[in-house]
Amino acid sequence: MSAAIDNIVNQPYTAGFKTDIETDSVARGLSEDVIRTISSKKNEPDWLLDFRLKAYRHWLTMTEPKWPNVSYPKIDFQDIIYYSAPKPKATKKSMDEVDPELLETFEKLGIPMNERAALAGVAVDVVFDSVSVTTTYKEKLAEFGIIFCSFSEAVRDHPDLIKRYLGSVVPYTDNFYSALNSAVFTDGSFCFIPKGVKCPMDLSTYFRINTQDSGQFERTLIVAEEGSQVSYLEGCTAPQFDTNQLHAAVVELIALDNADIKYSTVQNWYAGDKNGVGGIFNFVTKRGLCKGVNSKISWTQVETGSAVTWKYPSCVLLGDNSVGEFYSVALTNNMQQADTGTKMFHIGKNTRSRIISKGISAGKSNNSYRGLVKVSPKADGARNYSQCDSMLIGDLCGANTFPYIEVGNKSATVEHEASTSKIGEEQLFYFLSRGIDSEEAVSMIINGFVRDVFMHLPMEFAVEATKLLGLKLEGSVG
Amino acid sequence: MITKNAETILSVQGLSASINGAQILKGLDITVKAGEIHAIMGPNGSGKSTFSKVVAGHPSYSVDEGTIDFKGKNLTDLEPDERAKLGIFLGFQYPVEVPGVTNGSFLRLAYNTVQGARGKDELDPLEFDDFIQSKLNLLGMDASFLERSLNDGFSGGEKKRNEILQMAILEPTLAILDETDSGLDIDALRVVANGVNTLHGDSDAVVLVTHYQRLLNYIEPDFIHVVDGGRVIKTGDKSLAHELESRGYEWILEENSSSVS
């Protein structure tokens, strides 16, 4: 049966096809000229070009972080295509004018670009390589005063908001990849929920990397004003190439007084093949600022793809009584490596955070949880609860937990629990001896393991994520 | 209960089995007929627990020689889930804990899988709730058991009751209960024994694997087999249990070694 265990994890990657579409790309490599070219292609204002150039100059002084528990060949940053966009056939006014090739691509991926066919009223912004190709339900959302558009449009139509918030949570100086992103980011999504508005539908961005050797550097910025609420979903896939592509995104969330942001991700980038050839390097900086009192930011992530993942969605709990949450399922298989977790910075009084992390390792993969809980001296009454559970499938994979706890206030309460379990012969035999076959047994055990996290996903997403886990693990026991 | 012309449920002939190259069973024979209760006793390390796992199809053990027939069908090449679908049930000495999987959903999946294999209708969650209520009552278990994670944080007694609850819903033709009495206090032992007695009928058979005679005060066996060195060295009726209780295993072991030499 242990040969059976080796088997369950290897299921073909269904999103691995490439779309043949004419693209407008800049030449490989990175320089001030390339940045100027990208900026001028996007007709950007001078202040944004300045921001990019400052970030680039700062990036040149930085080195790649070496502390994650992952190893990969050195990235040649001069061998990456920093801008690649599908060539527009003509200026598009509505969905009917979107390139049929693109429509077909996203149809295949199950992403409705057509509002009539849209799934249960989710507004979608679709990003293909470097640019946003369409955003659905814009007009309907505008009736509520909600802005949901591509980042480029936001720069053009809402420059004041972008100027005020861009880089306010993740400054370009933050880390190597946020500096790189700030220099070369090409598109992404912008959401603005005005005072007192509860967003009537889930907002969603779907990212697709199509071009071989291109990087995807997008930015997402979500601002929830006083008393507003929004649930945002992010999905991603890429074709199967035998080279690695770099995905270095920056996501910034800002919640003002009493605002509530829920951010959910199902990450299904191509993970490389059995031997670790190809796949996405996913080096992403995600951070939310609970700026106002009683504000709340909740991250839920399901990480199943990428060759290497390096990602720590974090919360800065500045406002008194603000709440940060992190719910994560990270699945690694074959040669995948993940070093992921969260950071919770307690600054305001009576701030609370909750971390539930579930790591599943199969094949020869290596899965690490890395988390920081930091309570500043002024954070009276801060509370944190962390639970990190790891599950091993088979004998060749690894799981690690690196919790960092820094408490600077005596009144704080910080709890950390961790467990490691293994789907082994004894567990499977128990299910088998009740008539349940091994595939069903593994799926039941895994679904039980991730239940505490999946219950925080929006309904449709939870269904998708459950299917995805099943698919990723099919054949690893059998 | 011994009846004439009863169907043979389990026939094990000359069974030798090993784990990681170490031979544990060395030519074990046993025949169990419908309506009967058998007890397999023996000192620690005699191979009695191995016997129960091998019959259920545990993948770590390999059958080197001999046959295991269930109602005339050779089991040796069948996977454990196929054996379960045929009507073989193993009550575990150490039931595994599975956090996050609710007991109720596990029981329903097991029930529906086995029912499906018998060509019977599956039950939806509401129907299953009704069905399982009487079984819970039989074992003095509260419905809240169904909401808890499978065996997770269960006390020793709760785990064993949960095993018998599974036996109750799966209605096996052959139930092998491996050290079901270990770790039970006297009240729990009574409840579990009462459950087994209630569930046992003319058309099925029960094999109790136990180290102590205690359980046999509550479940009366028709046959007792003493196992040592991977073989049955003595078979008798229930009076043998009392003899074992007062004299221990030594005399049989000695008697056996002298008869061999």
Provide the residue type at A162 as one letter: I
CB contact under 8 A, B79 and A432: yes
* pLDDT reported for residue B182: 85
Considering the domain boundaries, does residue B22 fall inside one? yes
The C-alpha atoms of residue B173 and residue A167 are separated, in whole angstroms, by 69
Considering the domain boundaries, does residue B190 fall inside one? yes
Number of compact structural domains in chain B: 1
Substitution target from A427, A433, A445, A451 for chain B, most B beta carbons within 10 A:
A433
Q: To the nearest whole angstrom, how far is the Cα of B99 from the nearest Cα of chain A? A: 7
Considering the domain boundaries, does residue B159 fall inside one? yes
CB contact under 8 A, A444 and B89: no
Q: The CATH number of the domain where B151 resides is what?
A: 3.40.50.300
CB contact under 8 A, B58 and A447: no
Asked whether B66 and B15 are in contact (CB, 8 A), the reply is: yes
Considering the domain boundaries, does residue B2 fall inside one? no
Of the two residues A116 and B85, the one the predictor is more confident about is B85
CB contact under 8 A, A426 and B96: yes
Substitution target from B79, B82, B86, B96 for chain A, most A beta carbons within 10 A:
B96
Substitution target from B20, B49, B81 for chain A, most A beta carbons within 10 A:
B81
Nearest Cβ partner for B101 among A426, A438, A444: A444
Residue A431 has phi, psi (to 5 degrees) of: -65, -45
Residue B69 is given by DSSP the state: E
Residue B173 is given by DSSP the state: S
* pLDDT reported for residue A121: 54
B117: containing domain:
8-260
* pLDDT reported for residue A274: 79
Residue A5 pairs with which residues in a beta bridge?
A: none
Q: What percent of chain B has pLDDT over 70?
A: 98
Chain B residues within an 8 Å CB radius of A427 = 96, 98
CB atoms within 10 A of CB A57: 13
- Model confidence pLDDT, tens digit, residues B142-174: 999 999 999 999 998 899 999 999 999 999 999
The C-alpha atoms of residue A146 and residue A200 are separated, in whole angstroms, by 10
- In sign, the C-alpha dihedral spanning B121, B122, B127, B131 is positive
Considering the domain boundaries, does residue B1 fall inside one? no
Asked whether A186 and A217 are in contact (CB, 8 A), the reply is: yes
Average pLDDT rounded to a whole number, residues B107-133? 93
Nearest Cβ partner for A445 among B60, B84, B101: B101
Q: To the nearest whole angstrom, how far is the Cα of B236 from the nearest Cα of chain A? A: 30
Per-residue pLDDT of chain A (478 residues; tens, 9 = 90+): 344 444 444 556 666 667 776 677 777 889 999 999 999 988 999 999 999 999 999 999 999 888 888 888 888 888 888 887 766 554 444 545 556 666 676 666 666 555 544 444 566 777 766 666 667 778 888 999 999 988 988 999 999 999 999 999 999 999 999 999 999 998 888 999 999 999 988 888 877 766 666 778 889 999 999 999 999 988 766 666 667 778 899 999 999 999 999 999 888 777 777 777 888 888 999 999 999 999 999 999 988 878 888 999 999 999 999 999 999 999 888 888 889 999 999 999 999 999 999 999 988 888 999 999 999 999 999 999 999 999 998 888 889 999 999 999 999 999 999 988 888 788 899 999 999 998 889 888 888 888 888 888 877 677 777 777 766 666 554 3
**Mind giving me the DSSP string for B127-150?**
HHHHHHHHHHHHTT--GGGGGSEE
The tokens describing B60, both together, are 């770590």
Considering the domain boundaries, does residue B178 fall inside one? yes
Considering the domain boundaries, does residue B83 fall inside one? yes
